[in-house]
Amino acid sequence: MTFEGIDGSGKTTQARLLVEALRAEGRDVVSTREPGGTEVGERVRELVLDGPDLAPWAEAALFAVARAQLVDEVIAPALSSGSDVVCDRYVDSSLAYQGIARGLGVEEVLELSLRVTGGLFPERTFVVLLDAEEAARRRSGVDDRIESEGVAFQRDVDRAYRELAALYPERITLLDGSRAADEIAKEVRDDLRALA
C-alpha cells in the first residue's frame, strides 16, 4: 500500500496510522518512504530536497535511483517474506510531480519507473487530497526545495494526482484530507478490508 498527496496533506500521518493498525492486528509490516528507506535513498533525498535546482529529467532520474534501491533492498524482500509494505510515496509521486506537473509525460516517467521497479506496483494507493493553501499552513519548519516552489505548483501536483486517479481507478483511492485523521484512517482500513 502506498500513500500519496501534496506536501502537508496528511499522507505521512495516514501511512503511520495504517502501520499501527496493521501491527495491532498482529501483521508483520514494513514501513518505508520515498525517497529514502535505504542509505542510497536517504542520500538522494538530501540531494533532491535540499540540494540545488535540478532539471526535470535529472530530478526524475534521481527519484528512480532511490526507488530502484528501495525495491531491491527493502520492498521486494519484505513482500517475499510475506510482510505487508506501507510506503509513504512511490511511483505515483513521480508520475504526478515529474510526469504531469513538470511536463515530462506520464508514459515516459512510467516507463522509467517500470524499468527500475521490475513492474512492481502497489495493490492500493491512497491519495490524500487537501487544498494547497491549507496544506501549506499545516507544514511546519523550513520548506524543502520542492515545497518552496509555492502554492501554484502544489495545485498543479494536486490536479496531477486527480488525473492519475482517473487513469487508474482500480488502484487509486482518493481521500478527503480536510477530515479528521481518525476518520480518514477508518476509511483506509474499510477500503483494505473490502479488497481482501
Distance CA 182, CA 14 (A): 9
pLDDT at residue number 124: 97
Superfamily for the 2-191 domain: P-loop containing nucleotide triphosphate hydrolases (3.40.50.300)
pLDDT at residue 150, rounded to an integer: 86
pTM comes to: 0.95
**Nine-digit cell string for 93:** 509521486
Interacting residues of 37 by C-beta distance below 8 A, sequence separation 6+: 66, 70, 73, 74, 87
Q: Indicate the residue type of 4.
A: E
pLDDT at 195: 85
* DSSP calls for the chain: -EEE-STTSSHHHHHHHHHHHHHHTT--EEEEESS-SSHHHHHHHHHHHHSS---HHHHHHHHHHHHHHHIIIIIHHHHHTT-EEEEES-HHHHIIIIIIITSS-HHHHHHHHHHHHTT---S-EEEEE--HHHHHHH--S---TTGGG-HHHHHHHHHHHHHHHHH-TTTEEEEETTS-HHHHHHHHHHHHHHH-
pLDDT in tens, the chain (196 residues): 999 999 999 999 999 999 999 999 999 999 999 999 999 999 999 999 999 999 999 999 999 999 999 999 999 999 999 999 999 999 999 999 999 999 999 999 999 999 999 999 999 999 999 999 999 889 877 688 888 888 999 999 999 999 999 999 999 999 999 999 999 999 999 999 998 7
Look up residue 109 and give its three cell numbers.
Answer: 516517467
pLDDT at 120: 97
Cβ-proximal residues to 73 (8 Å cutoff; 6+ apart), any chain:
37, 38
